[in-house]
Amino acid sequence: MDTDHQGGASSWRASPWVQLVFGVICMAMIANMQYGWTLFVNPINEKYQWGRAAIQVAFTIFVVTETWLVPVEGYLVDKYGPRPVVVAGGLLCGVAWALNSVASSLPVLYIAAAIGGVGAGAVYGTCVGNALKWFPTRRGLAAGITAAGFGAGSAATVVPIASMIKSSGYEATFLWFGLGQGIIVFLLGLALLAPPTKLLATAKSTVQRVVYNATPREVVSSPVFWVMYLMFIMMAAGGLMATAQLGPIAKDFGLHDSPVSLLGLTLPALTFALTIDRVLNGLTRPFFGWISDRIGRENTMFMAFAIEAVGILALSKYGHSPVAFVVLTGIVFFAWGEIYSLFPATCGDTYGPKYAATNAGLLYTAKGTAALLVPFTSVVTAMTGSWHAVFMLASGMAAVAALLALFVLKPMRRAYAERHAAPVLDMPYSPASPFVSESARISADGG
């Protein structure tokens, strides 16, 4: 594990906020690998005529490799520190988009997607896991700010990427953006540090306490984990569908180049939607993370997931209007992106900080499982002739996840906490974390 944060020359890097900023920038640099993908689907199909469903398999491969290997990468982070994992991830991300630029067959496109997924997963899992460790008392906010880099990171580059694809072709866009993003991640990865052990071992409150740390093996044997996993799949599936298919949806709705004037700007509907979606998808992560630190994880999940269910229904019914398309997709992304702060924070609350990167990585694989459903959305749309059935399914899953949060996960997590009750180190009682013994709860409440 990294220890040079204790040295004088590099002590400024040992600040939790400095490390958080580094992590956010790294996340922003890999965001286009997922959120910029939809801009490339139609140009690739126009050149090679492979079909959208076949091209979207690459998106699924990317998300699967990005997520399913995160537990392994999290183990490496817990053992060796964040630096080597992120540095390697930056290199792989650059290689992936460079390979996309010359891919003339589906197998090459799929190989590039796998390489990019491994690299992006290494960066994502490391930065989120590191944030959970550096901010043990504000996990929701820290995970939310870090995840915001991934959610909103592509907002500033939507217009440049779309413009470069039109002017120089998607191949040059893949190459130059890929190399630039990869180099930045590589350099910032060299500056990342693991938090000092004393951050998790020294109590600052008057209550003498002990942290319960569940090992990864204990986590996967816990029913609470699998309830969260199922909820994660149901919420991730709808958002990933929108992320991958927004370009094709806009084209099928006849809105691809329809001008939209909002907030003093006039842009094509798809470009406007992508820009606003990325901003809101980023802002929602620290916003709902902060809310959940105060009113509880499950209460926040219920509120956000219910908004998502209603937003998807509205998009299906009213989304054929250019302005409504832009506004409603923004609502959908705002009510979706918070899963990437709420679930890691809930995992950290429940299972402790020691193996936070590995355990959060295990839960994050649910995103990869959800990605397996994305290509089927193209198939269902082709069979039914519209996106209506896909929208209904996504809305229904969000509604079920909202109910599970309040009526299943909340009581299960409380019971799990009571079975492993121990006063929690340096972590004042809050509604977000039920993992406190009754004596500590009374002390924290001033009883």
- pLDDT at site 200: 53
Position 434 scores a pLDDT of 53
Using the predicted structure, report yes or no on whether residue 114 has a pLDDT greater than 90: yes
| Residue 9, pLDDT score | 40
| pLDDT: which is higher, 207 or 245 | 245
Q: Which of 81-90, 168-177, 268-277, 429-438 has the lowest mean pLDDT?
A: 429-438
438 vs 309, residue with greater confidence: 309
284, two tokens? 């929602």
Decide if pLDDT at 1 tops 60. Answer: no
Residue 100 has pLDDT above 90, yes or no: yes
| Contact in structure between 35 and 336 (CB atoms under 8 Å) | no
- Residue 308: pLDDT over 50: yes
The rounded distance, in Å, linking the Cα atoms of 284 and 3 is: 34
Percent of the chain having pLDDT more than 70?
Answer: 88
The better pLDDT of the pair 433, 119 is held by: 119
pTM: 0.74
Tens digit of each residue's pLDDT (9 = 90 or more) over 234-244: 999 888 877 77
**pLDDT tens-digit map of 283-301:** 888 899 889 988 999 999 9
Give the mean pLDDT of 309-319: 91
Domains of the chain: 4-444 (1.20.1250.20)
